[in-house]
A = this chain, B = another copy of it.
Amino acid sequence: MDQPISKAELEAILEKYRAFYTDGRPASYIPALGLADPSITGISICLNDGDEIHAGSFCFNFTIQSISKVLALICVLSDYGMDYVSQKVGLEPTREAFNSLLLLELDNGPALFNPLSNPGAMVVTSLLRGSSEDKLQQLLNLAEKLAGRSGVIWDEEVYRSEKLTGYRNKAAVNLLKEQGTIEGDPEEVLDLYFRQCSIKLNCKDLARIACVIGLDGVDPKTGERLFPREAARNIRTIMATYGMYNQSGSFALKIGLPSKSGVAGGIMSVVPKKMGIAVYNASVNKIGNSLVGLKILEHLSRELDLSIY
């Protein structure tokens, strides 16, 4: 396709909005994340023909955190299909924060959590096939396949930092175990969840992954099918309704793209059939979304008329 924007324009946009990082700061509830340099910013766009446009530190690797929920969901939807998965997770968006356990108290019978909330994502992780090691390897393999490169790793230090202080997530996984939603050892599920969150990718990778999701699971360069069409649509839909935590409603109004953010500062957005976009800046708002990322995506969506609504 024709390039919707030039590299120079993208660099100008990055310059225009990068200063907004001073309105927030790196997430500190995981100590290792708090050390991030909030002046680093990157943008990548991957077009449906595989062409790429970049600006800033687009090769800077960061932990993808909650963006990993999308990878796990692709695996599980590919293996089991939506009908099975929807018996284990909830499909309705919720206005509670991403780590709310309120549902576990209010519901009768087992509470079903959105697969992009923390507890719902733990359920998805628990459904991955094989041993704990196999499961992590599956996610790394998928990341490499979608990003079109090898050498994807996870960050041991961030993993350890999160494991040490993730009391709330530990509470969540134990409640899920108690209500019978996950099988096996909850500590093992949690450990894997922390590992998947610490997978490291960069904007270039994430833009390409978003592009594949927008192309119904097909590689933009080779045309190879990487995962089922149906899984792609389901994932776009779930990203649209709850991908930005409890800012998903206003994000839909302002930006209108199926997206997923991670608390380390990454956001990946899907423009169905057309392109994938990824932005990174470590400074996040109270909800856990990158401030600079929100600004840049709002600009791009408005100027290029990208909203799906």
Question: Within 8 Å of chain B (Cβ to Cβ): is A37?
Answer: no
Residues of B within 8 A of A238 (CB): 249, 253
For the complex, count residues of A whose C-beta is within 8 A of B.
Answer: 48
CB pair B186 A177 closer than 8 Å: no
Interface string of A244-269 (1 = CB under 8 A from B): 00111110110010100000000000
Q: Which chain B positions have C-beta within 8 A of A240?
A: 240, 252, 309
Instruction: Identify whether the interface residues of A are mostly helix, strand, loop, or mixed.
Output: helix
Contacting A249 at CB < 8 Å: which of B93, B172, B247?
B93
How far is it, in angstroms, between the C-alpha of A113 and the C-alpha of B204 when the chains are bound? 39
Q: How far is the CA of A236 from the CA of B252 in the complex (A)?
A: 10
A174 an interface residue at 8 Å Cβ cutoff? yes
CA distance A236 to B188 in the complex (A): 43
Question: A60: shortest Cβ distance to chain B, in Å?
Answer: 30
Q: Does any Cβ of B come within 8 Å of A82's Cβ?
A: yes
Other-chain contact of A92, B172, B175, B250 (Cβ < 8 Å): B250
Q: Is A168 an interface residue (CB 8 A)?
A: yes
Can you report 26 residue pairs joining A to B where beta carbons are below 8 Å apart?
A86-B250, A90-B249, A91-B250, A92-B250, A93-B93, A93-B94, A93-B95, A94-B94, A94-B95, A95-B95, A101-B104, A101-B105, A102-B105, A106-B106, A167-B177, A168-B175, A233-B256, A237-B253, A237-B256, A238-B253, A240-B240, A240-B309, A241-B248, A241-B249, A258-B309, A308-B309
Closest CB pairs A-B (n = 4): A167-B178, A91-B249, A92-B249, A171-B171
- Residues on A lying within 8 angstroms of B by beta carbon are 82, 86, 90-95, 100-106, 108, 114, 167-168, 170-172, 174-175, 177-178, 186, 233-234, 236-238, 240-242, 246-250, 252-253, 256, 258, 272, 307-309
Given A93-B93, A237-B252, A237-B307; 4 other pairs, CB 8 A cutoff: A91-B252, A93-B241, A168-B175, A240-B309
